[in-house]
A = this chain, B = another copy of it.
Amino acid sequence: MVTLAKVAEAAGVGESTVSRVLRNHGSFSRKTKDRVMEAVERLGYVPNRIAGTLASAGSRLVAMVIPSLTNIVFADVLRGASGILEENQHQAVFSVTEYEPEKEEALVAAMLAWRPTAVMLAGFEHSNGTVKMLRASGCRVVELLDLDGAAQDLAVGFSNRAAGSVAADFLLKRGYRKIGYVGHDLDRDTRAAKRFAGFRETLGAAGFPLVDSEIHAGASSVEGGRLALERLLTRMPGLDAVYFSNDDMALGGYFHCLARGIQVPERLALFGHNGLDIGRVTPQPLSTIRTPRVATGRVAAELVVTDAPSQVVDLGFELIEGATA
């Protein structure tokens, strides 16, 4: 294995000189630089960041602890973040919690062992152990995709409660009155639960309380949405609109309607959440709310690499009228 010492020897200079040249920091002559770079090339030297990190300060590692990779939402956040991180010589390290707080705690502990510059997490709901460790570690903490709660340090996202409320307003304004909900495992996905709470509250306040709801046991999926809508309609055929916990679920509902010849939105209106691209090109574009997923990752990464002061960044969201409601 080629080390910095070997490069120094090959170039006939001291180790610290090689280090300075490689990091382009401190002073060295043009001639020295050429000699060093030539040796680096010739030996195929790759700096060892493990050693570098230990010797200096920051690891330039950013830990991303996300609930799921199946859900495109988090893949989008990762994508946004990793782009910015790479541009700034940082490295993303990630792990997946499957929406389990205990697993999150274990994973945060494992990540902290790498002394990351920052840890990014989904939302504000974490175990006491997780919060304690994070605080003790002294590294930056970024909580993503939620604004309804108290941030530990940095937070980037939008209000899920508000999104649910806006969805309700929209359906009401369109004249729908007998409104149902199709969701997935809310104990785990607390952000979906917050949307549902905002939705329900707004409906109630308008005097048209939620008629019925059906929860798909397990993670959100297109199939889950299709099956759950079918069950809901069997029980409550008179509904005129359904709000889904997200676009995956809504798409499943839409497929169910297409398959059964249920006229959308005349017989039944459908409303999703997230504004996924696929919802733009279905025969009828999905009525939904576009969330700033990639931007959330990007902004979070920017805050981290610039070492910004603690703050909460509201990226908002955007109603997409679509044609299904």
Contacts and interface: CB of A to CB of B under 8 A. Distances in A.
A114 B50 contact: yes
Given A46-B109, A46-B112, A281-B223, A69 B59 contact: no
Interface residues of A, number: 56
Interface in A45-63: 46-51, 53-54, 59
Given A47-B113, A93-B93, A137-B46, A281 B252 contact: yes
| This protein's copies in its complex | 2
Interface stretch (A24-32, A71-79, A176-184, A235-243): A71-79
B95 A92 contact: yes
A10 interface: no
Given A86-B107, A132-B44, A281-B226, A51 B54 contact: yes
Nearest to A45: B136
A218 interface: no
A138 interface: yes
B223 A251 contact: no
A205 interface: no
A278 B222 contact: yes
A136 B47 CA distance: 13
A53 B61 CA distance: 15
A195 interface: no
Interface in A74-122: 75-76, 78-79, 82-83, 86, 89, 91-96, 107, 109-115
Interface of A: 1, 44, 46-51, 53-54, 59, 69-70, 72, 75-76, 78-79, 82-83, 86, 89, 91-96, 107, 109-115, 132-133, 136-138, 221-223, 226, 251-252, 255, 258-259, 277-278, 280-283
7 contacts: A44-B133, A50-B59, A50-B114, A51-B54, A69-B78, A82-B94, A255-B283
